Structure 1
Amino acid sequence: MAHIYVAFIALFLGGTAGLLQVLVRSGHFELPFGIGYYQVLTVHGVLLGLILTTFFIYGFQIAAVSRTSGTLSNKQRLLGWIGFWIMTAGTAMAAAMVLLNEASVLYTFYAPLQAHWIYYLGLTLVIVGSWIGGLAQAMRWIQWRKENPKQTSPLLSFMVVCNNLMWFVATLGVAAEVLFQLLPWSLGLVERVDILLSRTLFWYFGHALVYFWLLPAYMVWYTIIPKIIGGKIFSDSLARLAFILFVLFSIPVGVHHQLTEPGIDPSWKYVQVVLTMMVSIPSLLTAFSMFATFELAGRSKGAKGLFGWLKKLPWGDARFFAPFMGMLIFIPAGAGGIVNASNQMNQLIHNTIWVTGHFHLTVATTVILTFFGAAYWLVPHLRGRVFTKELNRLGIIQTIVWVVGMAIMSSSMHIEGLLGAPRRSAFSDYGGAEIAKTWASYQVAQAVGGTLLFIGIIIFLYIFVKLCWFAPKGEEEFPIAEISPQAEKTPAILENFKVWLVILAALILIAYTFPIYDIIQNAPLGSKGYKLW
């Protein structure tokens, strides 16, 4: 709950910053008190993209491991608290610098934009704290394996370990960027840094970050939703295979965010685009598994005909409805991702607000709606409260408000991006009244959609507060589905992380060794005559 409290404080503050952003972009609102647009943009990106997600994911994963692999030991619990407080201290440090306008560098913190060294140190502490907290979760799973030799480990705990493994390997890139480049540079210890190297290290981490957000949503889809709809998990093996494939193909793909950058050889861009497209395989496996689960559950309740099972799904249950809408919206979100990662199509939309629209369909709809749906049972379960019919009705309304608001905002972003509007830019930076006028109607639409999303945040936070302190006391189930009896036995190799780690290391070395070597070899000379690296 400590993690979840921080997550939803970040949701409120980051959502407020997002509302201010779309109002400013509409051209009909100016920020008061000398607040800068890029300051607000940084608050929005860091709090929602990094803090909300990481803290909620860790709160959910701690509960998931405890529920399926057993209560954490005192040592594991202590590690979890140490990780939490280090992450929280780092968040406070980074937030203070942004609020003081000493770190308006957006959540990607690209050089040559420079932030105060306390900002970089704060983000480093968030990462280090997450490593410690993730270790505690992994230790509980390892302990279960020792206590239950030759048995298949609980699926939900296995998924948590996969996600944390991917996160640890991915964050090595951004940790290296901050510790060896940005921190020394912001402290004045070095005069300049190699910008291309810093961006490459960031995107080694940055695309896997997307899957760090997504995989906990997949955990809910695979293991929780079947129980809520009265069904069973379609296939334990397929679920584990999907997660292993995400671990393998989520990290060596970051260069597809750098397709327009001249310092990376096109052949290596091609390799990483191919690896990026491989990620569609576990996503399609997941789509197949989920709709098979829905159909089997519906038919077990007497559904007839090709789509009769749809009527048997619990559309009036917010715990199902919110994640299901997230799944549905992941279809256009995934299609947009293929556009982003395709070399030719990327040339049209690169660094336009199309990318922002895509981003809001993935993390700000698919992921966050699933997190909202999970909160509707997880929070009352942890707090000893009941998710009442009244709160459930509000949850349905909140989901509808969110989907409508995002449909308006994201659609206008996609269209505006196709017309060439840049991402990350304030209305006043568009370079001429005529250009700004071309996009004006889309920006007003974004303001309308963003306002609806903020209303959705307020409704959700009202539900959250009620579930924490004011809902009737009682017991709320932690719904974990059973494996279908018709499912095949899970092969032992899917739990053999030694094999998958070797393959992962090989893929990373193939994808990154030569590009990074080239970047360092061809770096410009610094004022003192040595390479900037």
Structure 2
Amino acid sequence: MMNHSTASKPADQGLLARKAGLPAKDAKLSMAHMYVAFISLLIGGLMGLLQVLVRTGKMTLPFGIDYYQVLTVHGVILALVLTTFFIIGFQYALMSKTVGMSDGERKWAWISFYVMLIGTVVTAVMILLGKANVLYTFYAPLQAHPLFYIGLALVVVGSWIAVFVNLHQFFKWKKQHRGEVSPLLAFMVAINMIIWFISTLGVAATVVIQLIPWSLGLVDEINVLVSRTLFWYFGHPLVYFWLLPAYMAWYAIIPKIIGGKIFSDSLARLAFIMFLLFSIPVGFHHQLLEPGIDPFWKYIQVVLTFAVAIPSLLTAFSMFATFESAGRAKGYTGLFGFMRGLPWKDVRFFAPFVGMLAFVPAGAGGLINASHQLNQVVHNTIWVTGHFHLTLATTVILTFFGISYWLIPVLTGRKLNAHINRLGIIQTIVWSIGMFIMSGAMHIAGLLGAPRRSSYSEYGGSEQAMEWIGYQYAQAIGGSILFIGILLMVYIFVYMTFFAPKGQEEFPMAETAEDALPTPMVFENWKLWIGLAVALILFAYTIPFIDIIQNSPPGSPPFKWPIGYN
């Protein structure tokens, strides 16, 4: 018998998977998060449509609405609210399925939900009242109403409660199953929540220590470079907080849907551990053109940024190995014959697969953004916005849609019928066409110098603006098609929630292939991996952060607490 101190097979998720559905109380909890997510999709999508129409120069917003007010709503509602609520709701479902949820944990999960919801409402009201036109990044010296920052702080605090709920579930299971490898999906949720908690310490610090006192008038000025550095300490791992739930579905759910098995449990865990190590100490690659940061430390963080590509390449290898194994098992031969064995007419597979394909150009664009030389070509142009829409709005969101086609029926006790499956495939195609046109136009216009975060109307009839006009119209066309895709998805969500035939839908959780090597127990050494992650963060940030504070603008003391200066 194999020694469990060195290696072990993962917990029997297959047994859990055969228990259809979730406990009613847990399903209600996850579903509450889904309601907020899809309402956010509709509101944020409408704001995005208005943006691309305004940028054509042919539309003026009514009722005195400011363009940057619309831009802020679009960014905050979609990039922060939709994603956070969907991810936490999805992860509650995964944890309930794999390790269970106690009444106490469920109570705290509801507290988390309401704290985040209150924070979201407060923040949204301030934006809608025109008192927080500070964009998604809320950079100083742009200043919002104090309630905007307080609302953001509540969202973060609420999410921290969810972090501790998930980690309590996970480590309680481990205590009860000593010497066993944890369920893969629960392991992945724990990694993602640790990344989220560590990274949000940065944005919480700048909001609570700097921006709230500044907006209340308690200090006259703040150190802008400190605030931007703290934001991007959070801002880039935020991308992986979005991406890793998609990876959870790719690694552990898609294999079940295609009739296959997980290619390698060990490889999946290794990829997630690498994200834990390399996703946080990389924020400087968003600040490559900012003065005040030593070039050496920028270089160090660029190297670490490129290291993050490795787990993505591991994931690509693992997924196509899974596809090939499933196809070969069905008898398909030839070099790419296994592709014929994939369920192309099943939207639960088709939507995430299109998201996977979009990640190829999205990843290439990310390498360009992270490269010191190439970044200078695209920095602060709408190329970056196009990249953002390939990663989050295509790879991640299409995978989230793919998850919804089975998760919503599981949560509501209904079935995914042929009508919605067919409409979902149409929705995926519509979304892909719209995004190809809009994001493609953004990339090209960015190479021509078109700025991001701008309505373009400021440039009047200049010769340079005339070069961009065709791409502005293309963005409007693509954005309009995308909004049709949003309306379709909202209809699908409402139908699956209230009108689909009642029944029992499978919660698809794959088992590991029989011939896969046992999972080494070193992957369960949490002190080691969290310790390494903290060490890398301290290495990448401590010296440059002290340097930023000591070399503050003229007139400020040589060293000060980063709350502000007079």
Q: Structure 1 length as normaliser, TM-score? A: 0.99
Q: Deviations over 1:485-532 (max 9, x none)?
A: 111111111111100111111100111011111110001255899854
Match status 1:45 vs 2:75: yes
Indicate whether 1:220 and 2:249 are aligned: yes
1:143 equivalent in alignment to 2:177: no
CA-CA distance at 1:432 after TM superposition: 4.4
Q: Does 2:481 correspond to 1:452?
A: yes
Q: Cα distance, 1:427 vs. partner? A: 2.2
Contact 1:408/1:446 (<8 A) preserved: yes
Structure 1 CA distance for aligned equivalents of residues 284 and 525 of structure 2: 29
Moved over 6 A (4+): 527-530
Residue 410 of structure 1 corresponds to: 439
From the superposition, tell whether residues 296 and 435 of structure 1 become closer, same or farther in structure 2 (CA, over 3 Å).
same
State the TM-score, normalized to the length of structure 2: 0.93
Deviations 1:189-238 (A, max 9, x none): 00000111100000000000000000000000000000000000000000
Q: What SS does the aligned partner of 1:67 have?
A: helix
> Is 1:353 matched up with 2:382?
yes
User: Structure 2 stretches of 5 or more lacking a match?
Assistant: 1-30
* Alpha-carbon distance in 1 for matches of 2:138, 2:555: 22
CA contact (8 A) 1:8 1:461 kept: yes
Residues 366, 529 of structure 1: CA spacing in aligned structure 2 closer, same or farther, 3 A cutoff? closer
Contact 1:87 1:127 in 2 (8 A): yes
1:385 aligns with 2:414: yes
**What secondary structure sits across from 1:504 in the alignment?**
helix
Answer yes or no: is the 8 Å Cα contact 1:192–1:526 preserved in 2.
no
Rounded to whole Å, the distance in 2 between the matches of 1:430 and 1:241 is 49
The aligned counterpart of 2:528 is 499
**1:235 & 1:528 partners in 2: Cα distance?**
55
Match of 1:5 among 10, 31, 35: 35
> CA 1:354–1:120 in 2, change beyond 3 Å: closer, same or farther?
same
**Structure 2 CA distance, aligned partners of 1:197 and 1:524?**
12
Partner deviation per Cα, 1:4-25 (whole Å, 9 max, x = no partner) = 1001111000000000000001
Identity %: 66
Aligned residues: 532
Distance in 2 (CA, whole Å) between partners of 1:346 and 1:422 is 14
For 1:207, the equivalent position in structure 2 comes to 236
After TM superposition, the structure 1 = structure 2 runs for residues 125-274 of structure 1, keeping only pairs within 5 Å, are: 125-274=154-303
CA–CA separation in structure 1 for the residues paired with 2:74 and 2:426: 24
| C-alpha contact 1:386 1:475 (8 A) present in aligned 2 | yes
Following the alignment from structure 1 to structure 2, what is the Cα–Cα distance between the partners of residues 354 and 469? Answer: 40
Query: What root-mean-square deviation, in Å, do the aligned CA atoms of Structure 1 and Structure 2 show?
Result: 1.1
Task: Give the secondary structure class of the aligned counterpart of 1:303.
Answer: coil
Moved more, 296-305 or 23-32: 23-32
- Inter-CA distance 418–526: structure 2 relative to 1 (3 Å threshold): same
Q: What 5-or-longer segments of structure 1 have no aligned partner? A: none
1:375 alignment counterpart: 404
Report the alpha carbon displacement of residue 304 of structure 1 after superposing the two structures with TM. Answer: 0.5
Asked if the contact 1:380–1:468 (Cα under 8 Å) also holds between the matched residues in 2, the reply is yes
Kept in 1, the 8 Å contact 2:210–2:227? The answer is yes
Match of 2:51 in 1: 21
Cα deviation, residue 435, structure 1: 2.3
- 1:488 lines up with 2:517 in the alignment: yes
Distance 1:307 1:529 in 2: 64
CA-CA distance at 1:433 after TM superposition? 3.1
Counterpart residue type for residue 76 of structure 2: V
For 2:88 and 2:256, the matched residues in 1 are separated by 22
Matched, 1:79 2:108: yes
3-state SS in 2 of match to 1:314: coil
- Structure 1 residue matching 2:513: 3-state secondary structure: coil
**1:336 and 2:365 equivalent?**
yes
Q: Deviations over 1:219-277 (max 9, x none)?
A: 00000000000000000000000000001100000000000001101000000000000
Which of residues 89, 97, 114 is equivalent to 2:126? 97
| 8 Å CA contact 2:551, 2:558 repeated in 1 | no
SS in 2 for 1:378: helix
AA paired with 1:473?
K
Equivalent in the alignment of 2:504: 475
